[in-house]
Amino acid sequence: MARVVGLDGSVKRDVNLSATDVENMYRLQVLARTFDRKAVSLHRQGRIGTYAPLHGQEAAQVGAAYALSPDDYCFPTYRDHAMYLTRGHAMRDVLLNLSGAGNYVDREDADGLRTFPPTIPIATQLPHAVGVGMGAKYKDDDCAVLASFGDGATSEGDFHEAMNFAGVFDAPAVFFCQNNQWAISVPRERQTASETIAQKAQAYGFEGIRVDGNDVFAVYSAVRDALARAKDGEPLLIEAVTYRRGAHTTTDDPTKYRDEAEVESWAEKDPLERTREYLESEHEWTDEDERALREEATDRVAEAVEAAEAHDGYDTDAIFDHVYDGEHPRYARQRAAVPENPDVER
């Protein structure tokens, strides 16, 4: 399994990153965890809808998204909040989406960012991602597509169909599996008899690799190299081995199906601690730097919550956007069935 930084923060191989990039990756991980904790609290207070915590998967999401160029496409899932933040989407917009007040693609700050809205159905974004990659290839668009999903998605037909199309048509696609060990309450060993998820790529004619998903630099390096290869017509599957330390969603109770000792053992592999220890040993990161960063993250999250909750209401007509390319004959009747829409004559 590919690794750059050990569990103790020691360097296994050169990260080939500037001090600025290293600090930015840590800053984004801290911001993601701070946001995550606040989002769980907001749901408990009824201020946002059901939320999928990312605690423990910060390195996987930040490292993968950090490797993308602005021209590359990104297909996240419902848990990939850190990917949106890393891609440059405003935290306010992430919160608005969670409150049902819109989606990422219509925001002004998202202009030019090739990031798709989060996918709730499991694995359905994977064929779409391959299709976008194939279209880009036909148009000679020098880009690649990163499709993110969990280990449970590998049990869905969409995963296998997408992999097959990518292999047959040499799509510029990178399949990024965040293997967090649990598909809701189903453990990884009940998902597949394969020794690894990465080896599934062999059936479709391309390579699969495993990487330490709690090592942000290893993830970044693996995804960066995979994107370059994908642009040359070589799709890849990356299995980022990580762990979901929180609940599947805020409607889930993980204590019902997993051992607390397992959670504690993964806490010792915490991605933020490993990055911080690397910064301390290699870039003279201090306790004062840490305090300032934590305060900054807390302030940014608080500002984003205030901005999101100051929005001017819900546009009920927006539920019809992006369903069809143009106006559909059924829209008039369906709009009339939405009682909150004041602009439709009943």
Catalytic residues: 244, 248, 257
DSSP for 263-284 reads HHHHHTT-HHHHHHHHHHHHH-
Q: 208 φ, ψ to 5°?
A: -125, 140
Quote the DSSP letter at residue 51.
-
- 3-state class of 44 per DSSP? helix
Kind and range of the H or E run holding 265 = helix 260-267
Q: Please state, as a whole number, how many other Cβ atoms lie within 10 Å of the Cβ of residue 188.
A: 16
Structure tokens at 201: 């790529």
Distance CA 337, CA 33 (A): 40
Strand ranges in the chain using DSSP code E only, listed in sequence order: 73-75, 145-150, 173-179, 182-183, 186-187, 207-212, 236-241
Structure tokens at 248: 């599947």
Contact yes or no for 230/172 (Cβ under 8 A): yes
Distance CA 98, CA 81 (A): 10
